[in-house]
Structure 1
Amino acid sequence: MTLARSALTLAAVLVLASCSASPALPSPVGSPESAPQSPVGQRAGTGAGWRELPGSPLSPRALALGLWTGQEALLIGGIDEPCPPGADCAGDRSPLLAAAAVNPDTGRWRVLAEPPVALLWMQGAVVGGVAYVQGHTVGDGIAMLVYDIAADRWSRGSLPAASGLTLVPAGDLLFAVRGSEETEPGPDYVYRPDERTWTELPADPLGAGFDRAMAWTGRELVLFDHKIVPNPGADGPSVTRAAAFDPASGRWRRLPDSSLLGTGPWLAEGGKLIAPALGGADGGQVGNWGRTYPYGGVLDPDAGTWSPLPDAPGAGTGGGHGSAFGAVSAVYAERPGPVLNAATGKWGAIPPLPQAEVTDSTVVAAGNRMLVFGGARWPDGSKAELSARAWLWTPQG
């Protein structure tokens, strides 16, 4: 068995990861008082379409971590010497420390306190006014940093396992789910911020799986995965399985298997979970499955029923990342590209950025809007031109 099976999952990439060469650590960015500010009270996010949020106090960079607090987008770290597309960069890697926050309603920026250590390959979650950031140190260790947003203060936190965990916010709790149980089997965990302790979750009813992901419905945490078998897809499609965990009772319940091939990411809207991944697969000419199985779809956890995406574009074989937005939240993937209005069931399109297209930028779902920061261009294919521009896309209606 191999982790290459994760290619079945068309997950949206909100913060891309890349190897980097060895840039020097930058000097600290200026204080909040010296940082350029947008006019107070200016509503930068009004009107549909793209709007620039000028005045970033951060230096040009790629691969910063972006997290939404409910009011601001936190932009943390990143690198200033990304790998060229298709390259395999070796040697030391020096991530950036500086971090900032921007309010998309006012366009106002503020510089954050610097984290105690710079991290690569970051992921994170915001729970109860605190940002939890997990990543790799330059020596390739795993670290957890905890940022108190109101106090503008960082501290070091703990992780329940050395590697292989993804952080998932769920109300006032933080969960850590294993991405696969192929090479690192073990439990999933829940963190209770008031107790500052990690606790193992009861074993889920699905058994060992790969391409594991979790999504919060507002009441339950739903686990998605694929069953571990010797040759996935050889004897039929490796469909997505699901089970729901109720934190209040501490119990799991098994949900019916789907006919989907993807395990997320998921938008919670109207009591349903929506995976806007497009396209599907039929097994190919050898070992054909007899029909095309879609990557994305819709789950009603309460009813335990699955349904297809409404009128999904490009529904043939192959696949692509789609996006979806609801009333107050969203899942954003590639841009430009198809986007589903979850309230109306209608598809639209995210237009190109009003600047030269960049790679390795940071994409944050800022409520149901999309914030894009930084990134790199490769005009001659060898040296990056970095950006520090920030753009906000607001959906229509």
Structure 2
Amino acid sequence: MIVWGGFDHQPERAPLGATYDPLADHWRRTPSSPLPARQWHSAVWTGDEMIIWGGNDLVQPPFADGAAYDPSTATWRQLPRAPIEGRYRHQALWTGKEMIVLGGQGFGFEFADGAAYDPDKNLWRTLPQSPLAARHWASTAWTGREMLVWGGYDDERVFRDGAAYNPTTGAWRRLPQAPIRGRCENSAVWTGTEFMLWGGTAACGSFGHRLADGAAYSPADD
């Protein structure tokens, strides 16, 4: 398990991390990262590396940089600059070949665009336009074929719509309307056959309106 970045309600954030080995029951610090300290960034595991991207420090504009950490060699490498603006509270997942980044938040606005990074080629590409409105705090899952995106928030509206993106064909398709109310900060997992959503809040960005229901979506039955 690798932990990196974040904040602890102290005035300063530190670009620190650690790895935990459950077999040895032992922690060790990661070496210094090439990235400045940040929070609300994304992290994915490729099978070889942890890739960090984006985030903010509440002082500078949101970050558009990233780095990859290889725990087998305890080394970092800087990612090339992404072809999209810096952001935080975005969605990111690993497809088995690429890290896909979508949506997220800037200072006072949201994003609807995205990009994909291929670590083997060390190259980024922009995603085709999504049918969804700009948002952050959406739920995502990888089915083995498509990236599923649902829900989220844009500081005014809480969304209950979703879409699927196929990186092989480059095509988006809309998901059917969910039988639950819109929300954010909910749990979302892929079971192998279904995209399951549960909990969260309908009062995104504030306290209250916690939810105790959920729904499951089957792409095969769509």
TM-score normalised by structure 2 residue count: 0.69
Match of 1:176 among 149, 154, 157: 149
Number of the residue aligned with 1:133: 101
For 1:1-397, list aligned pairs within 5 A: 47-54=24-31, 56=33, 58-63=34-39, 64-79=41-56, 82-83=57-58, 93-121=60-88, 122-134=90-102, 135-136=104-105, 140=109, 142=111, 143-157=113-127, 158-164=129-135, 166-172=138-144, 173-179=146-152, 183-185=157-159, 187-206=161-180, 208-211=181-184, 212-225=186-199, 240-250=212-222
Number of the residue aligned with 1:379: none
| Alpha-carbon displacement from aligned partner over 1:351-396 (angstroms, at most 9, x marks no partner) | xxxxxxxxxxxxxxxxxxxxxxxxxxxxxxxxxxxxxxxxxxxxxx
* Aligned residue type for 2:192: G
1:178 Cα offset (Å)? 0.8
| Alpha-carbon displacement from aligned partner over 1:16-38 (angstroms, at most 9, x marks no partner) | 69xxxxxxxxxxxxxxxxxxxxx
| Cα 1:97/1:163, change in 2 over 3 Å | closer
Preserved CA contact (<8 Å) 1:209 1:225: no
> Could you tell me how far apart the structure 1 residues matched to 2:153 and 2:99 are?
24
Number of the residue aligned with 2:13: none
> Could you tell me how far apart the structure 2 residues matched to 1:119 and 1:180 are?
18
Q: Secondary structure at the match of 1:183?
A: coil
| Cα 1:246/1:96, change in 2 over 3 Å | closer
| Alpha-carbon displacement from aligned partner over 1:181-202 (angstroms, at most 9, x marks no partner) | 9934552111122221221112
* Aligned residue type for 1:246: S
TM-score normalised by structure 1 residue count: 0.42
Structure index of larger Rg: 1
> Could you tell me how far apart the structure 2 residues matched to 1:227 and 1:55 are?
36
> Could you tell me how far apart the structure 1 residues matched to 2:215 and 2:35 are?
44
**Aligned residues: CA RMSD:** 3.6
Structure 2 residues without counterparts, runs of 5 or longer: 8-19, 203-208
* Aligned residue type for 1:168: T
* Aligned residue type for 2:134: S
* Aligned residue type for 2:31: P
* Aligned residue type for 1:187: D
| Cα 1:248/1:15, change in 2 over 3 Å | farther
1:249 Cα offset (Å)? 2.4
Preserved CA contact (<8 Å) 2:160 2:178: no
1:224 Cα offset (Å)? 2.0
Number of the residue aligned with 1:361: none
1:95 Cα offset (Å)? 3.2
* Aligned residue type for 2:131: P
> Could you tell me how far apart the structure 1 residues matched to 2:50 and 2:67 are?
8
* Aligned residue type for 2:142: A
| Cα 1:160/1:149, change in 2 over 3 Å | farther
Number of aligned positions between the proteins:
193
> Could you tell me how far apart the structure 1 residues matched to 2:161 and 2:182 are?
12
* Aligned residue type for 1:52: R
Structure with bigger strand share is: 1
* Aligned residue type for 1:247: P
Preserved CA contact (<8 Å) 1:15 1:65: no
Preserved CA contact (<8 Å) 2:141 2:188: no
